[in-house]
């Protein structure tokens, strides 16, 4: 399989679609926010026009506010990949949720725990999710957990307390990692442009629709970067200019964390530059992927 990776707003989807067109591939989404069936605009879910007829699974695998873990993703993604390969097509994973991708490729053992897992199973009085407790009990798990996200810390602690902390089992499936290369300045400019587009009438309409469906504002605010700011702008507590500035800054910080994670991931082949168009980048990516695909075909 091919993994198209990169920080948010780097152009992963366009690259993956162009690569699928060249190689006869189908896509599997590996962005945890774009998997939320209830949301489209704020999570920047690819549109049918952007997908250009290329099938993409995983854009509706979870519901807003419902538990969904890396274990759940690996289970669903494996089924999707096998089905794509069974049709004689090339599976192309696209997204920036690192734990999902690493769990799929490296074969993390999540103790076969479902999303509900051992929730509430720790002893009374254990307290709320604590990054310090996670670092003390399992420093290797803490090192790959977003410690600023209370829900992820809580889930990691649940797994650790249940004796089912993720561990790498080796690489069971061959995979080619392809990263979209951009300079920090070019990436920041893309983020700024996307944020200007994002904070507009379509996002307002989506927020209204989701709230009218009975979703609590705090659940929506926590769904992805941009919704908290959209809610505050909608309520009149901040203006649009401030909302745009906040979203752009939060997105840039997230992109920097993704860049750091990817730099530590061995074997990523980087393609493109600031001025390369999608066709040229896809050509580079195809050259990187071709030897592995040929070897896989020869092996049967």
At 141 the pLDDT is 73
Mean pLDDT over residues 263-292, rounded?
89
Statement to judge: residues 156 and 188 lie in one domain = no
| High-pLDDT (> 90) share of the chain, % | 61
pLDDT at 121 over 50: no
Q: Which of 124, 152, 167 is the last residue of a domain?
A: 167
Statement to judge: residues 92 and 129 lie in one domain = no
Statement to judge: residues 213 and 154 lie in one domain = no
- The answer to whether the CB of 84 falls within 8 A of the CB of 77 is no
Torsion over CA: 205, 209, 214, 219 (sign):
negative
Q: Which of 167, 201, 234 is the last residue of a domain?
A: 167
- The answer to whether the CB of 160 falls within 8 A of the CB of 166 is no
Q: Rounded CA gap, 7 and 179, in Å? A: 9
Closest C-alpha among 74, 77, 67 to residue 118: 67
Mean pLDDT over residues 170-194, rounded?
88
The backbone torsions φ and ψ at residue 76, rounded to the nearest 5 degrees and listed phi first, read -70, -40
Statement to judge: residues 20 and 97 lie in one domain = yes
Statement to judge: residues 159 and 183 lie in one domain = no
At 118 the pLDDT is 38
pLDDT at 23 over 50: yes
Strands (E), the chain: 2-5, 25-29, 56-57, 90-94, 176-180, 268-271
- The answer to whether the CB of 44 falls within 8 A of the CB of 198 is yes
What mean pLDDT value characterizes the chain? 86
At 218 the pLDDT is 95
Mean pLDDT over residues 216-239, rounded?
96
pLDDT digits (tens, 9 = 90+) for 50-68: 999 999 999 999 999 888 8
Q: Which residues contact 245 (CB under 8 A, 6 or more apart)?
A: none
At 58 the pLDDT is 97
> Counting Cβ atoms within 10 Å, is residue 9 exposed (0-12), middle (13-18) or buried (19+)?
buried
CATH number for the domain spanning 42: value is 3.40.50.300
pLDDT band at 117 (very low <50, low <70, confident <90, very high): very low
Statement to judge: residues 88 and 149 lie in one domain = no
Neighbouring CB atoms inside 10 A of 137's CB total: 15
At 122 the pLDDT is 38
Statement to judge: residues 205 and 272 lie in one domain = yes
pLDDT at 13 over 60: yes
At 124 the pLDDT is 32
At 116 the pLDDT is 42
pLDDT at 294 over 80: no
At 200 the pLDDT is 92
pLDDT at 31 over 90: yes
At 144 the pLDDT is 66
Statement to judge: residues 77 and 147 lie in one domain = no
Q: Which of 150, 167, 184 is the last residue of a domain?
A: 167
CA angle (37 as vertex; 14, 40 as ends), nearest 5: 50
Statement to judge: residues 139 and 264 lie in one domain = no
Statement to judge: residues 56 and 181 lie in one domain = yes
Q: Which residues contact 196 (CB under 8 A, 6 or more apart)?
A: 244
Number of domains in the chain: 2
Q: Which domain holds residue 265?
A: 2-108+168-299
Statement to judge: residues 278 and 223 lie in one domain = yes
At 33 the pLDDT is 95
pLDDT digits (tens, 9 = 90+) for 96-108: 998 888 888 877 6
pLDDT digits (tens, 9 = 90+) for 147-168: 777 767 876 777 666 555 555 5
Statement to judge: residues 246 and 257 lie in one domain = yes
pLDDT band at 128 (very low <50, low <70, confident <90, very high): low
Question: What dihedral angle (degrees, nearest 10) is formed by the CA atoms of 205, 209, 212, 214?
Answer: -130
pLDDT digits (tens, 9 = 90+) for 184-203: 999 999 999 999 999 999 99
pLDDT band at 286 (very low <50, low <70, confident <90, very high): very high
């Amino acid at each position: 399989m091919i993994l198209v990776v990169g920080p948010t707003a780097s152009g992963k989807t366009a690259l993956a679609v162009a690569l699928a067109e060249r190689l006869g591939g189908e896509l599997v989404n590996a962005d945890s926010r774009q998997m939320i069936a209830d949301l489209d605009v704020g999570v920047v879910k690819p549109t049918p026009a952007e997908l250009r007829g290329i099938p993409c699974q995983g854009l509706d695998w979870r519901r807003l506010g419902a538990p969904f873990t890396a274990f759940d993703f690996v289970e669903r993604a494996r089924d999707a990949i096998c089905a794509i390969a069974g049709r004689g097509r090339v599976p192309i994973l696209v997204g920036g949720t690192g734990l999902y991708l690493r769990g799929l490729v490296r074969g993390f053992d999540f103790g076969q725990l479902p999303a509900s897992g051992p929730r509430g199973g720790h002893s009374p009085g254990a307290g709320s999710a604590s990054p310090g407790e996670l670092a003390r009990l399992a420093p290797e798990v803490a090192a790959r957990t977003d410690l600023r996200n209370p829900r992820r810390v809580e889930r990691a602690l649940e797994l650790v307390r249940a004796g089912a902390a993720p561990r790498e089992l080796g690489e069971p499936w061959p995979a080619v990692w392809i990263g979209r290369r951009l300079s920090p300045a070019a990436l920041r400019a893309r983020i700024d442009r996307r944020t200007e587009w994002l904070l507009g009438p379509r996002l307002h309409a989506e927020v209204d629709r989701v709230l009218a469906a009975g979703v609590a504002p705090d659940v929506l605010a926590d769904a992805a970067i941009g919704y908290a700011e959209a809610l505050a702008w909608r309520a009149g507590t901040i203006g649009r200019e401030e909302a745009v500035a906040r979203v752009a800054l939060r997105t840039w910080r997230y992109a920097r964390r993704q860049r750091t994670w990817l730099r530590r991931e061995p074997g990523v082949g980087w393609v493109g530059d600031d001025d390369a168009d999608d066709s040229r980048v896809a050509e580079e990516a195809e050259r990187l992927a071709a030897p592995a695909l040929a070897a896989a075909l020869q092996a049967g």
